[in-house]
Amino acid sequence: MKKFILLFFLIGLVPKFKAQDAHLSMYDAAPLFLNSGMTGVFEGKWRVHAQYRTQWKSVNFKPYTSALVSFDMPIRKWGFGVQLHNFRAGYGNFNVFQGLVSAAYNMSLDKRRYNNISFGIQAGAMQKSVEYQLLSFNNQYSLNNGGEFNTTLVSGETFGAQSMVVPVANASLLYYYARQQSRLNPFIGISAFNLLQPKESFFGQDNRLPMRFYAHLGTRINITELFYLLPKVLIMQQEKFHEQTYALEAGYFMKGSETYLLGGFIYRMKDAAIVTLGVKKENFIVKLGYDVNVSSLTTASTGRGGFELSFTYVNGKNKTKVDKICPRL
């Protein structure tokens, strides 16, 4: 029982966290995070992406934070990349760091190379750690000064390991329609994460990280030469935890400034409503999102969820006969 309480405080009251992975509201802004089949699927020589998220500051003075960076590049029909992701939560600085390398093979299904599929794999390692000395327990509660926790007192707890490293393996499949002059550019992808289901217990127990599955689909609808809509859906399943996310993004091209203005709305069922704004100019894409909490935690959070910021830079144009319209754009 004490171990359960310990882990509860480690995560700092973050809901729905039982043996689950971190996830982002602007999930498709980070291509390698969503689907390794997207590795190298863009028009350019190389791409770098960064994303940062913070939430639950209204509930916990040690909020959940997540930071991600990735780099990928196409080489003929292949794509190669690397992704680093770190998130931290709770009073005990519960921290997860993940480093992955990605590879994807892209093939066309027709001579004009409009219909394409991409197979992707990821492999790497994940480190989890916690700082027990930052936690307080019932044996350390003192009646002095009207009642307070005194961390110099003996806790009486038996702690497990402070750090662990486990292997990670993921696989993905992506289909997308790449004809640039088309009214519709649909895409659909599936991803399977944690294929190895590694042990992740600090106490040596047979507690395994369950597999996580993503299914995502959508289509870019080119309304005019200057305006498009992008409806999309993400479905996630990890053991009994099920999540559905529905989103609509719009982009308007401003001729004078050669800039796309981006705006969108995302609804994560029974959890959060997210508003996004962004700009795409030449090789840069910047997006900002804000979560409004609509779950049972609303009473404590007063609706305030968190901020999320993403930045993408694509270097140059890759001279290829294949139209590689990135599915997320």
Convert the pLDDT of each residue in 231-251 to its tens digit: 999 999 999 999 999 999 999
Predicted local confidence at residue 56, as pLDDT: 63
pLDDT at 3 over 70: no
- pLDDT above 90 for 193: yes
Print the SS3 string covering the chain.
Answer: CHHHHHHHHHCCCCCCCCCCCCCCCCHHHCHHHHCHHHCCCCCCCEEEEEEEEEECCCCCCCCEEEEEEEEEEEECCEEEEEEEEEEEECCCCEEEEEEEEEEEEEEECCCCCCEEEEEEEEEEEEEEECCHHHCCCHHHEECHHHCEECCCCCCCCCCCCCEEEEEEEEEEEEEEECCCCCCEEEEEEEEEECCCCCECCCCCCCCECCCEEEEEEEEEEECCCCEEEEEEEEEEEECCEEEEEEEEEEEEEECCCCEEEEEEEEEECCCEEEEEEEEEECCEEEEEEEEEECCCCHHHHCCEEEEEEEEEEEECCCCCCCCCCCCCC
pTM above 0.95, yes or no: no
Residue 213 · residue 191 · CB < 8 Å: yes
pLDDT tens digits, residue range 22-47? 678 999 999 999 999 999 999 899 99
Is it the case that residue 301 has pLDDT exceeding 70?
no
Domains of the chain: 12-130+163-315 (2.40.160.40)
Per cent of the chain over pLDDT 70 is 82
Tokens 């404590």, located at residue: 300
Q: Specify the pLDDT at position 326.
A: 66
Considering the chain, what is the average pLDDT of its residues?
Answer: 85
- φ, ψ for residue 140, nearest 5 deg: -100, 5
Q: The tokens 């294949």 sit on which residue?
A: 322
Reported as a pLDDT band with limits 50, 70 and 90, residue 12 is very low
Q: Is the pLDDT of residue 21 over 90?
A: no
